[in-house]
Amino acid sequence: MARYIGPKSKIARKFGEPIFGPDKV
């Protein structure tokens, strides 16, 4: 995890998906 986009990454973690998942889409 070298990319932290902020609170959105937290939501992605809640879904158990990487930051490149629901966060970017």
Looking at residue 21, what is its pLDDT? Answer: 54
Reading the block at residue 10, the tokens are 């937290």
pLDDT at 9: 58
Is pTM beyond 0.75? Reply is no
Q: Where are the domains of the chain?
A: 1-25
How far separated are the first and last CA of the chain, in Å rounded? 17
| pLDDT digits (tens), the chain, 25 positions | 556 555 555 665 665 555 555 555 5
Q: What is the pLDDT of residue 24?
A: 53
* pLDDT confidence of residue 15: 59
